């Protein structure tokens, strides 16, 4: 029959009425094609006594059983993929295509035109037109955090994934992350990533050849160390319930750094494998271009990062007291690094931010110089600090 194309049978006997269907049709819509072996799905039967007439609400809600047409749009997806688009009409096509070409069939793409002014919204309409796995939300520009929260409100999946409109997912990424999370019963899974730079090639960024399953404490340390993964939400799959009491800050430009660590701390466990399944694209229009060029650092950016680090230290010290010493070291390490960047690049417009770092480091004294986490290069940073402290 039409739509689902499965074997449907309506049968009546003297004692029982029933509607039976092969669940292969529904299973195909919710089971990732590349995850797990193929299996034979048993028939689903709904039965009732011959004298019972099902209510209209039942017949309406199960009309696909009577017509043989499965409305896949009504089936809850396993993964909701949230993508914000803002003034990137060419790049968003590539990013969306990398999602829509995934071999994982149980997903939805929530594409959000986040206040574009250059025709990106019309491109988004073309992307979702006629595609039942994708839908578009158009809104005024309220920032990245506000846009992602709109996506979370609209999401129906058990898991949440984020993909940026200038990046791309490699084939099989959703299946890979889903299998990691399900097989290890983890609230968060993550994969490795490459980095493509405008005008240059693609190189590994976070790539390693092993499986790791971590407690929240160990995972937060790895997250803050930035050796195996970074704060960016792409490359990660989150259980939806983690966002019940945690949303993105809408008053911040860099929403990831103030949210991701809290999600890790709230998770039951975190599973990851470093096979690259995602590619970050670095170009002149990046929101975080300063991470690749110290000379692009601006006072407002540093002030926001300083505020986030202060909040992070206080929040994690209370939430995960077992790693409080490391969390304090991490803030110290960051401010030492920022001090070096300001001094080495002679960023005269960041005078106040240099003074902030100087005051913090002076107050910390030698507390972290004997830390088990201190890196050899940080002793060179300390030497520069002692040579220049108070001489701005």
Print the SS3 string covering the chain. CCCCCCCEEEEECCCEEEEEEECHHHHHHHCCCCCCCCCCCCEEEEEEECCCCCCHHHHHHCHHHHHCCCCHHHCCCCEEEEEEECCCHHHHHHHHHHHHCCCCCCEEEEEEEECCCCCHHHHHHHHHCCCCCEEEEEECCCCHHHHHHHHHHHCCCCEEEECCCCCEECCCHHHHHHHHHHHCCCCEEEEEEEEEECCCCEEEEECCCCEEEECHHHHHHHHHHCCCCCCCCCCEEEEHHHHCCCCCCCCCCCCHHHCHHHHHHHCCCEEEEEEEEEEEEECCCCCCHHHCCHHHCCHHHHHHHHHHHHHHHHHHHHHCHHHHHHHHHHHHHHHHHHHHHHHHCCCHHHHHHHHHHHHHHHHHCCCCCCCCCCCHHHHHHHHHHHHHCCCC
Which residues does residue 189 pair with via DSSP β-bridges, in sequence order?
Answer: 237, 271
Average pLDDT over residues 118-140: 93
Cβ atoms 199, 119 nearer than 8 A: no
pLDDT band at 249 (very low <50, low <70, confident <90, very high): very high
Cα–Cα distances in Å, from 34 out to 49, 146, 151, 355?
41, 34, 26, 54
Average pLDDT over residues 45-50: 39
Q: Is 3 left (phi over 0), alpha (psi -120 to 50) or beta?
A: left
What is the reported pLDDT for 358? Answer: 96
The number of residues in the chain equals 392
Angle between helices 324-344 and 376-388 (to 10 degrees): 60
The domain over range 79-282 is classified in CATH as 3.30.565.10:
no
Q: CA–CA separation, 319 vs 274, rounded Å?
A: 27
Does the pTM surpass 0.85? The reply is no
Lowest mean pLDDT among 14-18, 108-112, 179-183: 14-18
- Number of other residues whose CB lies within 10 A of the CB of residue 314: 12
Four-residue CA torsion sign, 103, 109, 114, 118: positive
Most confident stretch, 197-201, 235-239, 252-256: 235-239
pLDDT band at 152 (very low <50, low <70, confident <90, very high): very high
pLDDT tens readout for residues 194-226: 999 887 889 998 999 999 999 999 999 999 999
Q: Which phi and psi angles does 192 have, rounded to 5°?
A: -80, 175
What is the reported pLDDT for 286? Answer: 61
The domain segmentation of the chain, as residue ranges, is 8-71, 79-282, 293-388
Which residues does residue 264 pair with via DSSP β-bridges, in sequence order?
Answer: none
Among 226, 206, 260, smallest CA distance to 333 is for 226
Asked whether the predicted pLDDT for residue 43 surpasses 80, the reply is no
Both tokens assigned to 329: 């070291």
Chain mean position to CA 118 = 26
Q: Across all residues in the chain, what is the average pLDDT?
A: 82
The Cα angle at residue 141 between residues 136 and 144, in degrees rounded to 5: 80
What is the reported pLDDT for 94? Answer: 95
Q: In what order do the strands lie in the sheet with 16-22?
A: 8-12, 16-22, 43-49
Asked whether the predicted pLDDT for residue 56 surpasses 50, the reply is no
Lowest mean pLDDT among 9-13, 127-131, 151-155: 9-13
Average pLDDT over residues 103-115: 94
Q: Are strands 79-85 and 107-114 parallel, antiparallel or unpaired?
A: parallel
Pick 42 or 151 by higher pLDDT. 151
Q: CA–CA separation, 123 vs 113, rounded Å?
A: 10
Q: CA–CA separation, 301 vs 303, rounded Å?
A: 5
Which residues does residue 137 pair with via DSSP β-bridges, in sequence order?
Answer: 112
């Amino acid at each position: 029959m039409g739509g689902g194309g499965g074997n449907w049978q309506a049968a009546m006997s003297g004692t029982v009425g029933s509607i039976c269907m092969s669940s292969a049709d529904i299973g195909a819509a919710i089971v990732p094609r590349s995850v797990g072996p193929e299996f034979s799905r048993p028939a689903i039967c709904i039965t009732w006594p011959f004298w019972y007439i099902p209510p209209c609400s039942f017949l309406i809600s199960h009309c696909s059983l009577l017509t043989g047409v499965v409305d896949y749009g009504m089936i809850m997806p396993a993964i909701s993929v949230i993508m914000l688009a803002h003034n990137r009409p060419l790049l968003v096509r590539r990013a969306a295509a990398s999602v829509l070409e995934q071999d994982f069939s149980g997903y939805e793409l929530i594409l959000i035109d986040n206040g574009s002014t250059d025709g990106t919204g019309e491109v988004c309409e073309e992307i979702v037109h006629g595609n039942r796995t994708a839908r578009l939300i158009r809104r005024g520009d309220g920032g990245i955090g506000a846009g992602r929260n709109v996506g979370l409100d609209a999401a129906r999946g058990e898991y949440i994934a984020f993909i940026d409109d200038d990046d791309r997912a490699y084939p099989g990424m959703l299946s890979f992350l889903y299998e990691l999370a399900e097989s290890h019963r983890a609230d968060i899974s993550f994969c490795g990533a490459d980095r493509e730079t405008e005008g240059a090639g693609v190189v590994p960024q976070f790539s390693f050849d092993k499986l790791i399953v971590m407690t929240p404490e160990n995972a937060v340390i790895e997250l803050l160390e930035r050796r195996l993964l970074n704060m960016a939400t792409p490359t990660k799959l989150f259980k939806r319930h983690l966002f019940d009491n945690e949303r993105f800050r809408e008053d911040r430009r860099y929403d990831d750094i103030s949210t991701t660590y809290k999600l890790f701390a709230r998770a039951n466990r975190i599973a990851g494998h470093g096979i690259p399944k995602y590619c970050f694209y670095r170009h002149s229009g990046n929101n975080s271009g300063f991470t690749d060029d110290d000379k692009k650092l601006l006072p407002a950016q540093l002030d926001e990062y300083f505020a986030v680090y202060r909040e992070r230290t206080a929040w994690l010290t209370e939430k995960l007291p077992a790693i409080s010493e490391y969390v304090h070291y991490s803030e110290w390490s960051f401010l030492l690094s920022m001090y070096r960047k300001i001094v080495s690049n002679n960023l005269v417009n960041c005078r106040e931010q240099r003074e902030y770092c100087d005051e913090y480091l002076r107050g910390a004294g030698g507390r972290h110089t004997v830390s088990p986490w201190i890196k050899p290069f940080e002793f060179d940073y300390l030497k520069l600090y002692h040579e220049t402290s108070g001489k701005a």
